Structure 1
């Protein structure tokens, strides 16, 4: 359950940016998670409220966008989704590929709550 550790560090990073920029309230943080990363999005969503409790992000939302696991086939140079194709190139059926995307964890956006 390394998701809690990741959330703690993410919250610290966002809080630091908020303080440095005099931001009082954050509405949403948007993260991107690679389809083949070891991070489980469901756990991130489940643990976020408790991890954010008592921080500047206590009333914030977490939005997750998935990055597809794309690979480049070394035999036919086709780019394909590794997960959907179970590690085999759909064109030539080779399993000799290079991963292009899908392992990432990116803080994409911090959405500030509008002051009324």
Structure 2
């Protein structure tokens, strides 16, 4: 489970940001995770309490937004969701495509109290 290591890095980044900006309390941390990312949202949620224990984020609510795994079909030029379509363009049946989104893992928002 590499998600715990990822969350330790997120906590360090958020604490550094908070310190530089004089933020004393954080109410909510919002992460964005793409459907095609190797990071598993359920594992992030599971390891979050351990990663924030004893830190500035200890009492912070975690929110996760899932970003769609979209691709551009090289055959017809239409955008489609890779997972929903079984990695095949639902418009023309093409199997040649370029990933547009869904591999992301980002800190979207830090909500201070």
Q: TM-score with structure 2 length normalisation?
A: 0.98
Shift, 1:21, TM fit: 1.0
Count of aligned positions: 113
Cα deviations across residues 47-82 of structure 1 (Å, max 9, x unaligned)? 101110010000101110011000000000010000
Which runs of 5 or more structure 1 residues have no equivalent in the other structure? none
Q: TM-score with structure 1 length normalisation?
A: 0.96
SS of 2:77's equivalent in the other structure is: coil
2-side partners of 1:61 and 1:50: how far apart? 13
**Correspondence 1:20 to 2:20:** yes
4+ runs deviating over 2 angstroms: none
Residue 31 of structure 1 corresponds to: 31
Which runs of 5 or more structure 2 residues have no equivalent in the other structure? none
Alignment RMSD (CA, Å): 0.6
